[in-house]
Amino acid sequence: MLIYSGKTKNLCQDDNGQYYFQFKDDVTGKDGVFDPGENQVGATIEGSGHSNVVLSTYFFELFKEKNIPTHYISSNTEENTMQIEKASVFGEGLEVICRFKAVGSFIRRYGAYIESGTPLDAYVEFTLKDDDRQDPLITQDALEQLDILKAGEYDQLKKLTQDISLVIKEALAEKGLELYDIKLEFGRLDNSDVIVLIDEVAGGNMRVYKGDEYIEPLALVDYFE
């Protein structure tokens, strides 16, 4: 049964009440061109759903080994599905970004103070999931004043983001790749205050390079299959 139809995957529930993602071949972009930074579906690329579930499975299994809390249960990469625990998002959705290099929107905001490509020490930013307002940055004070986060959750999310991002950075380094930045999502498990990593961890979540060459999001899976 379909619960919610998202841009790149559907949230469904089977006859036993188990929640799962059905990954689609739709990708975000504009005018038929794939762009992971866009907030609308812009194209359909055969195999993109499979790429996303394969990478997500790889990383979620890695997190399981390291006792990092997530909503992941299991996956079926042949059917492009991932079984998950039910979780609720913070507010209308919160994204947490970890940066290891000064690129992208960081440079657009702070380019007067730092050169593009300068290393950053697992720098963390929070943004609201709000397409109409272009996913604005939000401070700790605002998150707590608006009752999006409870006291102490900001620091918990920041540490989780850094820990998870460093695990991914190390896994990519073993493949000869370098993680520049990554965007993660978190939520609370249903009927609890337990915070877990949710959604997916795939090429569209991160900016990855091999030397000076940018690795296209859908090409990243080639290093992990």
Phi, psi of 206 (to 5 degrees): -135, 160
For residue 33, what pLDDT is reported? Answer: 47
Tens-level pLDDT at each residue, the chain (225 residues): 999 888 889 999 999 999 999 999 876 655 544 445 556 555 677 888 999 999 999 999 999 999 999 999 999 999 999 999 999 999 999 999 999 999 999 999 999 999 999 999 999 999 999 989 999 999 999 999 999 999 999 999 999 999 999 999 999 999 999 999 999 999 999 989 999 999 999 998 999 999 999 999 999 999 998
Phi, psi of 79 (to 5 degrees): -100, 0
153-173 vs 48-65: helix crossing angle, rounded to 10: 110
For residue 207, what pLDDT is reported? Answer: 96
Instruction: Residue 98: name the closest of 169, 165, 187, 171 by CA.
Output: 165
Q: Model-level pTM?
A: 0.93
For residue 26, what pLDDT is reported? Answer: 72
Distance CA 104, CA 114 (A): 12
For residue 31, what pLDDT is reported? Answer: 53
Q: Specify the DSSP class assigned to residue 148.
A: S
Domains of the chain: 2-85 (3.30.200.20), 88-223 (3.30.470.20)
For residue 34, what pLDDT is reported? Answer: 44
Distance CA 163, CA 84 (A): 21
180 neighbors 173 (Cβ within 8 angstroms): no
Instruction: Residue 49: name the closest of 18, 72, 82 by CA.
Output: 82
Residue 206, classed as helix, strand or coil, is: strand
Distance CA 4, CA 24 (A): 13
80 neighbors 56 (Cβ within 8 angstroms): no
Round the CA-based radius of gyration of the chain to a whole number and report it: 17
